[in-house]
Amino acid sequence: MTKVTKPHVSSAVMTHPVRLAQAQDLADRLRLDGLALDPAPEGPPSALRTALVAWSAAGPEASHHLVVQDDVDAPAELLEIVTRAATRFPDEALVFYTNWHARNGAAARLAALAGASWVRAVPDEFTPSLAVCLPAKSAAAFRAYARDSAERHDDELLSVFFRGHGRMSLLAVPNIVEHIGTTSINDHAAQGIRLAVCPTSAADAAPLLDRGHVLEEPGWIPYMRYGEGYIRLVGQEHGADGGRGHHRWRAALPATGLTEDTVRAARAVHLPEDLAAEVARTFGRAFAKELWTHCLLLGRQAAHASRGLGPLPGSVPADALDRLRHSAVATAGPAGLPPERRPEAGPDEIRAMAEFAWTAVHAGEALA
């Protein structure tokens, strides 16, 4: 039996002087190795400038290096969970936070419903960089690649780097890292409230990440932006725009094997008018209709993906996976809202949207 060598994970918190106290508290609480300060804090905003300092902080004996941004919250078990993930996937770039409103977030939400604990990131979007662990050799290669770049967003350049090496990162579907606050040093505040797609306790995440399924190819991915439903098509990264364009769900349906008639028929039979009216009272009928259609497509594609995963390993707790699925669906509604409307989603509105979303997910599962 081959002996598994436990990785040595060094770590750094990338920060700006205006958040120095916050960053130091985070490093102390999570037992991280130290801070990586913006080397030119008076200059134009640049996450990459600070990220290069953070990735340069890999310890000389480290097999892997973890970089965490200063505006996150995470459990005390973070390093332990990251180390175990690096043991399982020693050659992978591992991402422990994914935004609830992005295409990668939609991939993670789909994976959760399909019964997976990891999903391969899409190649046509930024890499969520709030908590990333790289093998030490990959960290050094990224530093060399990015050193002279004019790009200021590390998340964009990480994706370009991974694409160039032919393998995108693995996204942890249960998110143990959470974004805090809405201010942004790097001009992301216009995106509104930005939270994890599948917030999960450390107790649930640990066994899921240790032994859960990996979804390598989710197929086409339904997602929402600014209150409307879209579909990321398979292979769209090869388009002239690098896949960064957005396809409304109606226009994309022919590539999925579904038809508008199928969607209309499912809506006529399964859409609950009482819950639709409850969602529409706050966010409008058009949003309620888009959310339900999005979750119908999500349920269909998740059920389709789940068939390729096989049975759940017996050592993975089914109740933890069930809570992960509910976490994923609970964020679908608020994440799908336009950024300026997200503050209106209080507990009652989130509950109503989640109940409404589940009716669509279940209807979609019947289409697979």
Instruction: Please compute the mean of the pLDDT values over residues 19-47 and round it to a whole number.
Output: 94
Instruction: Say if residues 50 and 15 touch (Cβ distance below 8 Å).
Output: yes
Measure the CA–CA gap between 324 and 202, rounded to whole angstroms.
Answer: 12
What pLDDT does residue 1 have? 44
Instruction: Say if residues 296 and 272 touch (Cβ distance below 8 Å).
Output: no
With a CB cutoff of 8 Å and minimum separation 6, the contacts of 179 are: 71, 72, 97, 99, 130, 194, 195, 196
Who has greater pLDDT, 79 or 192?
79
Q: How many angstroms from the chain centroid is the CA of residue 26?
A: 21
Instruction: Say if residues 358 and 329 touch (Cβ distance below 8 Å).
Output: yes
Reference 79, options 137, 119, 26; nearest CA is 26
Measure the CA–CA gap between 26 and 199, rounded to whole angstroms.
Answer: 18
Can you list the positions of beta strands (E) in the chain?
Answer: 9-15, 35-37, 64-69, 72-73, 94-95, 116-120, 131-135, 170-172, 178-179, 213-215, 221-225, 228-232
Measure the CA–CA gap between 92 and 63, rounded to whole angstroms.
Answer: 12
Measure the CA–CA gap between 327 and 197, rounded to whole angstroms.
Answer: 8
What pLDDT does residue 183 have? 55
Instruction: Please compute the mean of the pLDDT values over residues 94-102 and round it to a whole number.
Output: 97
Residue 227: C-alpha distances to residues 71, 107, 169, 224, 342 (Å): 26, 18, 28, 6, 10
295-351, pLDDT tens digit by residue? 999 999 999 999 999 898 888 999 999 999 999 999 999 999 999 999 999 999 999
How many other β-carbons are positioned within 10 Å of the β-carbon of residue 169? 25
Measure the CA–CA gap between 251 and 189, rounded to whole angstroms.
Answer: 30
What pLDDT does residue 314 have? 85
Instruction: Say if residues 92 and 169 touch (Cβ distance below 8 Å).
Output: yes
Reference 247, options 258, 231, 261; nearest CA is 231
Per-residue confidence band for 181, with pLDDT thresholds at 50, 70 and 90: confident
Sort strands 178-179 and 72-73 into parallel, antiparallel or unpaired: antiparallel
What pLDDT does residue 192 have? 66
Reference 172, options 227, 95, 75, 252; nearest CA is 95
199 pairs with which residues across the strands? 175
Instruction: Please compute the mean of the pLDDT values over residues 138-146 and round it to a whole number.
Output: 97
Burial class (CB in 10 A: 0-12, 13-18, 19+), 32: buried
Residue 157: C-alpha distances to residues 105, 145, 160, 200 (Å): 18, 9, 5, 28
Measure the CA–CA gap between 366 and 297, rounded to whole angstroms.
Answer: 11
Between the CA atoms of 173, 339, 263 and 281, what dihedral angle is there, to the nearest 10 degrees?
A: 120
230-275, pLDDT tens digit by residue? 999 999 999 989 999 999 999 999 999 999 999 999 999 999 999 9
Flag the least confident range among 152-161, 186-195, 228-237.
186-195
Instruction: Please compute the mean of the pLDDT values over residues 158-175 and round it to a whole number.
Output: 97
Give the pTM: 0.94
Measure the CA–CA gap between 197 and 251, rounded to whole angstroms.
Answer: 26
- How is residue 352 written in tokens? 């109503």
* H-helix or E-strand spanning residue 265: helix 260-270
